[in-house]
Amino acid sequence: MKYTEGPEIRDTKAPEGPIEERWEKRKFSARLVNPANKRKLNVIVVGTGLAGGSAAATLGELGYNVKSFCYQDTPRRAHSIAAQGGINAAKNYRGDGDSIYRLFYDTVKGGDFRARESNVYRLAQVSVNIIDQAVAQGVPFAREYGGLLDTRSFGGAQVSRTFYARGQTGQQLLLGAYQALERQIAAGTVEMFTRHEMLDLIVADGRARGIIVRDMVTGEIERHTADAVVLATGGYGNVFFLSTNAKGCNTTAIWRAHERGAYFANPCYTQIHPTCIPVSGEYQSKLTLMSESLRNDGRVWVPLRKDDKRAPGDIPEDERDYYLERIYPAFGNLVPRDIASRAAKNVCDEGRGVGPGGLGVYLDFRDAINRLGRDAVEKKYGNLFEMYERITGENPYDVPMRIYPAVHYTMGGLWVDYDLQSTIPGLFVIGEANFSDHGANRLGASALMQGLADGYFVLPTTLGDYLADGPFGEVDEAAVAEAELKVRDRIERLLAVNGTRTPDSFHRELGRLMWDYCGMERTEESLRKALERIPELRKEFWENVKVSGTAEELNQVLEKAGRVADFFDLAELMCLDALVRTESCGGHFRAESQDADGEALRDDEAFAHVSAWEHSPDGEPVLHKEPLVYEYVKMTQRSYK
């Protein structure tokens, strides 16, 4: 796949000056809209997860006319709900040396020096307000006997800054945002559209002015216009078919916006989580995450010999390879996510994997049970063991768990400036859908923080500044009609193929290809192979997909087919981005770029930049680089040995 290089992005609109003053400066310089005018301004928010739900609620509270859209039957289902671990905030309630600066530092470093300093600093600043807001809403965070909030440490951080609500932090935070949203719906400031899927963006006179949606119950194609559009549509991990994402998660909203002119940044940055329940068969529809905390007491191992088919209990100690402890004696089983994932892949590639298909490694609690007693282990991990047994039918107290890495989060997304505005004026992108704060690797418990920071605090300020120039008047009818026609044409095309393969069968094949060639480890050869194979498969899709039913009814096959079609185009851009970035960084491991010990090797000379891709109608994407400058955190190579 060919591409060309366009001009660099020099201005991200971040204010100048000391980093701790930048957000304050921006807030002060943002123009205000008087309450009477707010009522005349219409805003569309797509997606109702932590970012979209909190944004729609907050914009409603401020007095804007908001329309909120989600594909589920109620906004409370968005996939933020599945986040388990917790939410980071620099409260320093423990007095253990945490600070805004330390959270900022940890996030920049954890992102392997591929995130913007100004954005990350703001995120750390705002983090403290999120906890206040959530507590005031009645989010039942874990508490200590003194009545104060409990925290835990997470993902290698040296301080205890992760607030949590048992293993359901995402659920509780989302319900807080959902309830705030429902309150605004009742107040009449937000109009809610459930079971509606965005299928195109309306751009008129150079501004984002609305969306085309399909009512998923009646099949009706609707036009909704506004003065600004906010996308909060989540990540695109489902391009791999199997991931920890919900089945409905898709790239369609951001991909259509990309085709309309929004740059797509760092599409190749994907996070692969090391502790998921392995695939059990061809029919597998999704992967389930097991909390990372299991690695605190479980020991990871595989048989020393290839193709060892003995039951784990029959393999004597000296024929086991505790490979993480062997390779990384300092961190052992607690190495970061990307390193643990890759090591598991390596031993499985050597033919030493366990379970069906040889794609799994043992996570063994035998020693922990002997050392701490079964009761203590049950207290700590009982619910996780139960969840594991429910899914696999195996009892982890007797047989070691089997785990394998799975796609979990995408750090890439639509490019946004400091104001969270994309390259299309009036199109704002928040939460996982944008690329902004995690660099090449997201730290645990930071996704919830970013979604809510964007939705409750950042966007309401910066969007106001944009809307101060509005209302923008009637939307050009030709632009609306063109977008609607495009959507209708595409649906007709999908229905007309009437081939012999289901959308899911194509999706599975694409996912497998992406996992093999653009997964945990990427090489020039694998990526070139993928770039050759994806267009062939896409061609077959458009010639041989079978979509049953009609467009004028609830049609889950049609919904799926449309999403898969967009995944093909995204997959191609991901592989191209991965091919061009010949360094290894964070979640992106290029086999050609490793040090003598096999660890990821960054190339800061050539790649300390964001890769922002511009769509071009002739098919040759244009690469714009946004240089990353580190004024505060010194760039270093990570080591965990």
Partner 1 sequence: MNLTLRVWRQSGPSDAGRMVTYRVEEVSPDMSFLEMLDVLNERLILEGDDPIAFDHDCREGICGMCGMVINGVAHGEQRATTTCQLHMRHFEDNATITIEPWRAAPFPVVKDLVVDRSAFDRIIQAGGFVSVPAGSAPDAHSVPVRKEDADAAFDAATCIGCGACVAACPNGSASLFTAAKITHLSLLPQGQPERLSRAKAMVDQMDAEGFGGCTNTGECTAVCPKGIPLDTIAQMNTDYLKANAK
Q: Which of residues 20-59 bind partner 1 (CB under 8 A)?
A: 54, 57-58
SS3 67: strand
Q: What is the DSSP letter of 458?
A: I
CA distance 443 to 337: 9
Residues 566-595 that bind partner 1 (CB under 8 A): none
Contact string 430-459 vs partner 1 (x = CB under 8 A): --------------------------xx--
Binding residue for partner 1, selected from 66, 123, 180, 340, defined by CB under 8 A: 180
Q: Please pick, from the candidates 12, 37, 99, 137, the single residue that binds partner 1 as defined by CB under 8 A.
A: 137
CB 586 within 8 A of CB 520: no
Q: In terms of CB distance, is 502 or 582 closer to partner 1?
A: 502
- Does 99 interact with partner 1 (rule: CB under 8 A)? no
Nearer Cβ to partner 1, position 138 or 373?
A: 138
> Could you tell me the smallest distance in angstroms from the CB atom of residue 1 to partner 1?
31
Residues in binding contact with partner 1, number by CB under 8 A: 81
Residue matched to tokens 């609305």: 210
Among 353, 460, 511, 587, which residue sits at the site for partner 1 (rule: CB under 8 A)? 460
C-beta of residue 622 within 8 angstroms of C-beta of residue 613: yes
What part of residues 277-316 is at the interface with partner 1 (CB under 8 A)?
280-281, 283-286, 288-289
Nearest-approach distance from CB 72 to partner 1, in angstroms? 6
320-349: which residues touch partner 1 (CB under 8 A)? Answer: none
Q: Is 465 exposed, middle or buried (0-12, 13-18, 19+ CB in 10 A)?
A: middle
Residues near 574 by Cβ (< 8 Å), separated by ≥ 6? 239, 267, 268, 270, 412, 514, 518
Which of 64, 141, 362, 607 is close enough to bind partner 1 by CB under 8 A? 141
Closest to partner 1 by CB, 153 vs 280, is 280
* Nearer Cβ to partner 1 (37/179): 179
179 touches partner 1 (CB under 8 A): yes
Residue 634 C-beta: closest distance to partner 1, Å: 33
What lies within 8 Å, CB to CB, of 550 at 6+ separation is: 219, 495
Name the active-site residue from 337, 342, 581, 602.
Answer: 337
CB of 520 to partner 1, least distance (A): 22
Return d(Cα 189, Cα 348) in angstroms, integer: 54
Which of 44, 81, 202, 335 is the binder for partner 1 (CB under 8 A)? 81
Show contacts with partner 1 in window 390-419 (CB under 8 A): 390-393
Whole-angstrom distance, CA of residue 408 vs CA of residue 85:
13
Q: What's the min distance (Å) between Cβ of 374 and partner 1?
A: 22
Cβ nearer to partner 1, comparing 386 with 524:
386
Binding pattern for the stretch 516-545 against partner 1, x by CB under 8 A and - elsewhere: ------------------------------
Strands in 181-334 per DSSP E: 190-193, 196-204, 207-215, 221-225, 228-231, 264-265, 270-276, 299-303, 320-321
Q: Per CB under 8 A, which region of 75-83, 311-319, 421-429, 564-572 contacts partner 1?
A: 75-83
| Angle, helices 50-62/459-467, rounded to nearest 10 degrees | 50
Residue list 242-281, contact with partner 1 (CB under 8 A): 244, 246-248, 280-281
Q: Is 94 in the site for partner 1 (CB under 8 A)?
A: no
Can you tell me which of 16, 95, 186, 316 binds partner 1, judged by CB under 8 A?
186
Question: How does 411-442 read in b/e, with b if 16+ C-beta sit within 10 Å?
Answer: bbbbbbbbbbbbbbbbbbbbbbbbbbbbbbbb
Considering the complex, what minimum distance in angstroms separates the CB of residue 548 from partner 1? 5
* SS3 readout for 278-298: CCCCCCCCCCCECCHHHHHCC
For partner 1, give the closer residue by CB, 248 or 396.
248
- Using CB under 8 A as the criterion, what x/- string covers residues 217-236 for binding partner 1? x-------------------
Tokens of 491: 């649906």
Place of tokens 């491991």: 589
E strands in 1-76: 4-5, 42-46, 65-69
Q: Which is nearer to partner 1, 74 or 616 (CB)?
A: 74
Shorter beta-carbon distance to partner 1: residue 141 or 328: 141
**CA nearest to 632, candidates 269, 100, 160:** 100
User: 382: which 2 tokens?
Assistant: 């009982």
φ, ψ of residue 431 in degrees (nearest 5):
70, -155
DSSP states along 146-180: TSSBPEE--TT-SS--EE-BTB-HHHHHHHHHHHH
Among 12, 25, 99, 142, the residue binding partner 1 under the rule CB under 8 A is 142
Does 605 sit near partner 1 (CB under 8 A)?
no
Tell which positions 550-569 bind partner 1, by CB under 8 A.
553-554, 556-557
Q: Minimum CB separation from partner 1 for residue 235, in Å?
A: 14
**Distance separating alpha carbons of residues 138 and 136, to the nearest angstrom:** 5
Tell me which residues in 195-214 interact with partner 1 (CB under 8 A).
none
Q: Where are the beta strands (DSSP E) in 396-549?
A: 401-410, 413-414, 427-429
Q: CB within 8 A of 110, min separation 6: which ones?
A: 155, 156, 438, 439, 441, 442, 443, 446
Encoded tokens for 489: 């044409």
> Cβ of residue 8: shortest distance to partner 1, in angstroms?
36
Structure tokens at 179: 């309830």
Q: Catalytic annotation on 337?
A: yes
Angle at 497 between CA 483 and CA 503, to 5 degrees: 85
- Tell which one of 178, 240, 263, 506 touches partner 1 (CB under 8 A): 178
Which of the ranges 110-118, 547-555, 585-593, 633-641 carries the binding residues for partner 1, by CB under 8 A? 547-555
* Minimum distance of partner 1 from residue 503's CB (angstroms): 8
Instruction: Kindly tell me the burial class for residue 342, based on how many C-beta atoms sit within 10 Å of its own C-beta (0-12, 13-18, 19 or more).
Output: buried
Residue from 115, 192, 226, 229 in contact with partner 1 (CB under 8 A): 192
CA distance 9 to 435: 15
What's the angle, vertex CA 492, arms to CA 514 and CA 259, rounded to 5? Answer: 50
Give the nearer residue to partner 1 in terms of CB position, either 243 or 422: 243
- Which range of residues in 35-43, 172-180, 416-424, 624-632 is near partner 1 by CB under 8 A? 172-180
Does position 148 interact with partner 1 (CB under 8 A)? The reply is yes
Amino acid at 165: A
Distance of closest approach, residue 405 Cβ to partner 1, in angstroms: 17
Q: Which two tokens stand for residue 271?
A: 């996070």
Could you tell me the smallest distance in angstroms from the CB atom of residue 342 to partner 1?
Answer: 25
Among 6, 27, 93, 512, binds partner 1 (CB under 8 A): 93
Q: How far is the CB of 409 from partner 1 (least distance, A)?
A: 15
What residues are annotated to the active site?
A: 337
